[in-house]
Structure 1
């Protein structure tokens, strides 16, 4: 029997953001602690990141910047969601980010049903979030779409049937989206446990083995690197 990542790698998926934009107009973006330009920029808020990302897109003649899976980042330090006195700092990103500084439609990667949705309102959190459930070749798994607009989670019901490529919402803007530069956080989850409308998108080093296995690289599904 094939393992889960092998199954994902065979799927022809839909684009999850602004499907009219070709993958040739995507560019890989490094927001890790190893990015010296980013460290020197000393960015502190959503607007500063938005300007940084737009300059990067313009410099590369691109429309969407993507990346971030298993990237260790400093951008979460302003939020107690990721760093407080009672827990180890979470700073390793376990989803894929798609950055675009304009309104954009968000679409289901695969056929599925709505598992859950909610507005995660803390500073630095997802803001409005939708999670879909999928069943494929004996696997049940989930896709998470974070940093959406508030209207994305209105008039929806748990269990609603969603078709591949169907628009499920729109990209959110700061501060509604957790106060980030506009981007979609897209994540694949195998075991969602009891989580509802939320699931960790950032982990600490001590739990990396678990989360990297439970949340494989979403680009195995989206295949952006194969087309850029």
Structure 2
């Protein structure tokens, strides 16, 4: 397995005041019985549920999901059906918050690729950044962005460490999800551009998690 090493400061991915802002750990496994099929089937109801949970906890963001076996993907056939083994294991970390939340690059980067993955349940507007040098290259995928984030973007474009380069999208632009950021680290893009699986089958767990390390190695610099 590859190892991530950072020779420079790691900047916050989203704005967060550690003195005043709060973070809500969110669970989207079948243990969360509040999320009924009715809520999951209706993006507006799902968004309202997220907002209510954040308000009740007095939290600016909700967070979680890495290596979580989730039931919420049953809302979209994009992740398969129960007739065959569906994709349910989440490979990134989600940061749930308001549409328009600004996203920053934690490290110096170049734009690897971007794409509008416009299917129900997909990423919507997506950007992949390439970090590191020849000895330590990895990629960060930012999903569920707004369309303005990819407007005028170019492959190879330089993104400075700490630079604001994207925003959380509304459901109509982000794959029809409540506003949030899917943040995923990837060692090998396997020839893909503007897209990479963010959810895999449980039987593929070892293969995908070895290629997609825990984003906490970056996000701890934002929230801890």
Using structure 1 for the length normalisation, give the TM-score. 0.89
The answer to whether residue 217 in structure 2 is matched with residue 220 in structure 1 is yes
Deviation at 1:45, TM superposition (A): 2.1
Deviation at 1:226, TM superposition (A): 6.4
Provide the rounded CA distance (Å) in 2 between the counterparts of 1:100 and 1:226: 14
Map 1:104-143; keep pairs closer than 5 Å: 104-136=101-133, 138-143=135-140
- 2:17 is aligned to 22
- 1:52 is aligned to 49
Q: Write out per-residue CA displacement over residues 19-77 of structure 1, whole angstroms, 9 at most, x where no aligned residue.
A: 1x324422211112222333587532221121111111112111111111011112111
Q: More deviation in 211-220 or 98-107?
A: 98-107
Deviation at 1:85, TM superposition (A): 7.8
- 2:75 is aligned to 78
Q: Does the aligned pair in 1 maintain the 2:99–2:167 contact within 8 Å? A: no
Q: Does the aligned pair in 2 maintain the 1:33–1:39 contact within 8 Å? A: no
Deviation at 1:215, TM superposition (A): 0.4
Q: Write out per-residue CA displacement over residues 163-186 of structure 1, whole angstroms, 9 at most, x where no aligned residue.
A: 111111111101210000000000
Q: More deviation in 205-214 or 24-33?
A: 24-33
**What 5-or-longer segments of structure 2 have no aligned partner?**
none
Q: More deviation in 129-138 or 185-194?
A: 129-138
- 2:98 is aligned to 101
Using structure 2 for the length normalisation, give the TM-score. 0.90
- 1:64 is aligned to 61
The answer to whether residue 178 in structure 2 is matched with residue 181 in structure 1 is yes
User: Residues 3 and 121 of structure 1: is their aligned pair in 2 closer, same or farther, counting only changes over 3 Å?
Assistant: closer
Q: Does the aligned pair in 2 maintain the 1:50–1:101 contact within 8 Å? A: no
The answer to whether residue 29 in structure 2 is matched with residue 32 in structure 1 is yes
Map 1:150-169; keep pairs closer than 5 Å: 150-169=147-166
Provide the rounded CA distance (Å) in 1 between the counterparts of 2:22 and 2:194: 31
Q: Does the aligned pair in 1 maintain the 2:40–2:75 contact within 8 Å? A: no
Deviation at 1:206, TM superposition (A): 1.0
User: Residues 169 and 40 of structure 1: is their aligned pair in 2 closer, same or farther, counting only changes over 3 Å?
Assistant: closer
- 1:4 is aligned to 3
Provide the rounded CA distance (Å) in 1 between the counterparts of 2:50 and 2:133: 36
CA RMSD of aligned residues (A): 2.3
Q: Does the aligned pair in 1 maintain the 2:39–2:46 contact within 8 Å? A: no
State the secondary structure of the residue aligned to 1:175. coil
User: Residues 129 and 208 of structure 1: is their aligned pair in 2 closer, same or farther, counting only changes over 3 Å?
Assistant: same
Deviation at 1:11, TM superposition (A): 6.3
Provide the rounded CA distance (Å) in 2 between the counterparts of 1:39 and 1:12: 42
Provide the rounded CA distance (Å) in 2 between the counterparts of 1:58 and 1:77: 26
**What 5-or-longer segments of structure 1 have no aligned partner?**
none
